[in-house]
């Protein structure tokens, strides 16, 4: 078996393997930097009240990341159990930094500057993210059909044809 071939096992999937430590600390550091960046944007760019940031927004973000990561871990465990594969992992979930800057600087900051109300800017940001989630869900349903069309495939990739041996 080579490195590109997934290994199969009929045992229960392992919840933790040695390589997971690297992912744990890498993902943890990434989350910390993202939350510090979010805090700085909210406190110093939008001038939000510290009470709102530290008592409401950051705990909600932490809960969201915990719940979504647990959900993805459950999906990965279920897939590993169903298929018997040992190379299944959970997709980490967290705050997208480019998206955080876009929402803060393009959506929220102009509203904050025009109204002087950071809470109204926060509500506009939440509204934008809510609407965007429906766009992303729609894309999730449309993506498989575009991948099947000839225009949606990567250049140079062709659909494999099945060759059947015919009897003489």
Name residue, tokens 């719940």.
67
Which pLDDT value is given to residue 106? 94
Query: 58-78: per-residue pLDDT in tens?
Result: 999 999 889 988 888 888 888
Which pLDDT value is given to residue 37? 93
Give the separation between CA 115 and CA 48, rounded to whole angstroms: 13
Indicate if the pLDDT at residue 56 is higher than 50.
Answer: yes
The phi, psi pair for 122, rounded to 5°, reads -65, -40
Indicate if the pLDDT at residue 26 is higher than 50.
Answer: yes
Question: What SS3 class is residue 44?
Answer: helix
Query: 91-137: per-residue pLDDT in tens?
Result: 777 788 888 999 999 999 999 999 999 999 999 999 998 998 899 88
């Amino acid at each position: 078996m080579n490195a590109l071939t997934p290994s199969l096992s009929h045992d229960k999937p392992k919840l933790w393997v040695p390589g997971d430590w690297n992912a744990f600390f890498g993902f943890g550091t990434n989350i910390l930097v993202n939350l510090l960046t979010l805090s700085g944007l909210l406190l110093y760019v939008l001038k939000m009240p510290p009470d709102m940031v530290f008592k409401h927004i950051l705990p909600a973000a932490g809960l969201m990341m915990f719940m979504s990561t647990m959900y993805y871990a459950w999906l990965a465990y279920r897939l590993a159990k169903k298929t018997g594969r040992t190379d299944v992992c959970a997709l980490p979930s967290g705050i997208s930094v480019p998206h955080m800057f876009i929402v803060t600087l393009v959506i929220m900051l102009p509203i904050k500057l025009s109204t002087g109300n950071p809470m109204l800017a926060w509500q506009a940001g939440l509204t934008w993210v809510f609407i965007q989630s429906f766009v992303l869900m729609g894309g999730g349903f449309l993506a498989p059909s575009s991948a099947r069309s000839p225009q949606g495939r990567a250049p140079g990739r062709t659909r494999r044809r099945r060759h059947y041996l015919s009897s003489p």
